[in-house]
Amino acid sequence: RFDRGGKGIEKKTVLLYCCQIYIVHRFIFQLVTYAPFTLFPSPVPKAVFHQALAVQTHFNLLVDKISQDSGFLEEALASTIAVDDFTRRLFDIYRSVLKEGRSQSIVLGLNRSDYMLDQREDGTSSLKQIEINTIAASFGGLASRTPDVHRHILQVAGRLEDSQRILDNNPAAGLAKGLAKAWKLYGSERAVVMFLVEEGQRNIFDHRYVENELWKRKIPTIRRRFQDVCKTGSLDQDKRLFVDGQEVAVVYFRDGYMPQNYISEQSWDVRLLMERSLAVKCPDISTHLAGTKKVQQELARPGVLERFFPDQPQVVEQIRATFAGLYTLDMGPEGDKTVAMALATPDNFVLKPQREGGGNNIYGSEICQVLEGVKESTERTAYILMDLIHPSPVHNYLLRRDASLQVSKCLSELGVFGAYVRQGKDMVMNECVGHLLRTKSSEHSDGGVAAGVAVLDNPLLV
């Protein structure tokens, strides 16, 4: 027995209390941890960096133009929706909205275009686009904080001059600017911006930086899941969206980009409910479809970019300069040629399904395994084939929780954030709002930060 103020306390009670503290401690540190990052910033060629920033507003316009071209989307995705159930379900919602008529003329796009530097043995190098993310483009919040981290590290390491070369970067403010613009155009100060989020969101602090920027502007925000909207969401006679009795001005999707996000038919019903509403959707369903891999491949076809920029050859040239080789797997002679090419030299390509979120791409001998199984089937049209990018590795330290600190041979991927708002035919905002550098060990072929492979980084321009 322990004595405390004249009252006895059983030893087993104290031990039980200590065990409870330990369990809570372990739970907290398993639930909350720092975002992984590189110890030092990674070198990025200055010309390539500025090329990526300069082309972003053109990509914003391109995505928006695609989202308005129902004929192009129908044609581009016809083969994919025949075999890919997820894309088909999205397209069914798109058709329903078109048939009923769009309720909202305000369009908000917050996207991120990702690139790698292709460096060949002959000494040539060029910026090549990996993909463009039109839904739940992440890490704008955390990327706004990493410059201070690397400035501090470089100062501690005695590299004061390099610390002063770390670029200012605040995509959280830029993304919030787009959300705020759409909220203001909606025209109701009582209405909220709703972050549609996943259950058990691991990347919550990335969201919080954007939320905080909205609260600075005195714009109210709420966080809800699909099931929350299912329980309390409704449309009034004017198609205004209400959730928990609050009018929603903007639905900001940080969920809904993968099949597993739709856990039931009710999830799909809720997506349709929101798409039919007067709320501004970020993205709306057509902009979501504009970011699919199949659309990316179709854009690389000769003459397609000219469809969207008929009198702007310089814009077409700037966009096309970032394209890697992209090849169709549609049924027919062209697709057959692609299959044969991939099977002959699989190490030269990456096979991409219509999925977001990282960790989905297929490389090397696995390409042969997949294509041998579907080469005579329409199932192959669920994929596209892309040239493999060859960046030159650099050495850095990757800091992760519970991982030993050791130097790694690393590859980096540069992302550029764009924000645009259109009202009717008028583009009222179109900006490049920041950048993101993610770095991973060269031993990993695919996978982002959320997948536990890449870490956050900063460019040190050289």
Residue 135: strand, helix, or coil:
coil
Q: Phi and psi of 137, rounded to 5°?
A: -65, 115
Locate tokens 């009582």: which residue? 190
Beta bridge partners of 362: 351
Residue 218's contacts (CB-CB under 8 Å, 6 or more residues apart) are none
pLDDT at position 289: 98
**Residue 378 or 4, more confident:** 378
Compute how many other C-beta atoms are within 10 angstroms of the C-beta atom of residue 149: 20
According to the annotation, is 159 in a ligand binding site?
Answer: no
Q: Which two tokens stand for residue 161?
A: 């001059």
According to the annotation, is 388 in a ligand binding site?
Answer: yes
- At 349-371, the pLDDT tens digits run 999 998 876 678 999 999 999 99
Beta bridge partners of 84: none
- At 209-256, the pLDDT tens digits run 999 999 999 999 999 999 999 999 999 999 999 999 999 999 999 999
According to the annotation, is 360 in a ligand binding site?
Answer: yes
Q: Is the pLDDT of residue 7 over 60?
A: no
Residue 326: strand, helix, or coil:
strand
- Report residue 402's pLDDT band, with 50, 70 and 90 as the boundaries: confident
- At 173-186, the pLDDT tens digits run 999 999 999 999 99
Per the document, the length of the chain is 462
Segment 298-311 mean pLDDT = 97
Which of the four CATH numbers 3.40.50.20, 3.40.50.1760, 3.10.20.600, 3.40.309.10 does domain 40-324+394-461 have? 3.40.50.1760
Lowest mean pLDDT among 113-122, 227-236, 277-286, 315-324: 113-122
According to the annotation, is 357 in a ligand binding site?
Answer: yes
Residue pair 223/165 in contact (Cβ under 8 Å)? The answer is no
According to the annotation, is 256 in a ligand binding site?
Answer: yes
- What are the sequence ranges of the domains in the chain? 1-32, 40-324+394-461, 327-388
Residue pair 129/326 in contact (Cβ under 8 Å)? The answer is no
Q: Does domain 327-388 have CATH number 3.30.1490.50?
A: yes
Please give the model's pTM, rounded to 2 decimal places: 0.91
pLDDT at position 5: 44
C-alpha pair distances (Å), 268 with each of 80, 91, 263, 289, 389: 19, 12, 9, 15, 36
According to the annotation, is 133 in a ligand binding site?
Answer: yes
pLDDT at position 120: 79
Residue pair 396/407 in contact (Cβ under 8 Å)? The answer is yes
Residue pair 449/456 in contact (Cβ under 8 Å)? The answer is yes
The rounded Cα 51 to chain-centroid distance in angstroms is 20
Compute how many other C-beta atoms are within 10 angstroms of the C-beta atom of residue 88: 13
pLDDT at position 188: 97
According to the annotation, is 254 in a ligand binding site?
Answer: yes
Beta bridge partners of 43: 460
pLDDT at position 30: 52
Please give the Cα distance from 388 to 349 (Å, whole number).
4
According to the annotation, is 74 in a ligand binding site?
Answer: no
According to the annotation, is 359 in a ligand binding site?
Answer: yes
Residue 44: strand, helix, or coil:
strand
According to DSSP H, which parts of 132-237 are helical? 140-143, 146-156, 160-163, 171-186, 204-216, 226-232
Segment 297-314 mean pLDDT = 97
For the annotated catalytic residues, the residue numbers are 112, 131, 133, 138, 293, 352, 356-357, 438
pLDDT at position 290: 98
Q: Phi and psi of 332, rounded to 5°?
A: 130, 180
pLDDT at position 443: 83
- DSSP for 248-305, please give it: EEEEEESS-SSGGG--SHHHHHHHHHHHHSSSEEET-HHHHHHTSHHHHHHHTSTTHH
Angle formed by the axes of helices 204-216 and 171-186, nearest 10°: 60
- At 15-55, the pLDDT tens digits run 444 344 343 444 444 567 889 999 999 999 999 999 999 99
Mean pLDDT of the chain: 91
Q: Is the pLDDT of residue 385 over 50?
A: yes
According to the annotation, is 238 in a ligand binding site?
Answer: no
Beta bridge partners of 407: 397
Phi-psi region of 434 (alpha: psi -120 to 50; beta: other; left: phi over 0): left
CA nearest 191: which of 199, 202, 180?
180
Cis check: omega of the bond before 36, within 30 degrees of 0: no
Out of 38-52, 116-130, 441-455, give the one with best mean pLDDT. 38-52
pLDDT at position 394: 94
- DSSP for 388-434, please give it: PP-PPPEEEEEE-TT----EEEEEEEEEEEEEEEEETTEEEEEEEEE
According to the annotation, is 422 in a ligand binding site?
Answer: no
pLDDT at position 353: 93
Q: Is the pLDDT of residue 10 over 80?
A: no
- Report residue 13's pLDDT band, with 50, 70 and 90 as the boundaries: very low
Q: Which two tokens stand for residue 35?
A: 């975002």
pLDDT at position 446: 65
According to the annotation, is 107 in a ligand binding site?
Answer: no
CA nearest 378: which of 147, 12, 132, 84?
84
Compute how many other C-beta atoms are within 10 angstroms of the C-beta atom of residue 241: 26
The rounded Cα 157 to chain-centroid distance in angstroms is 33
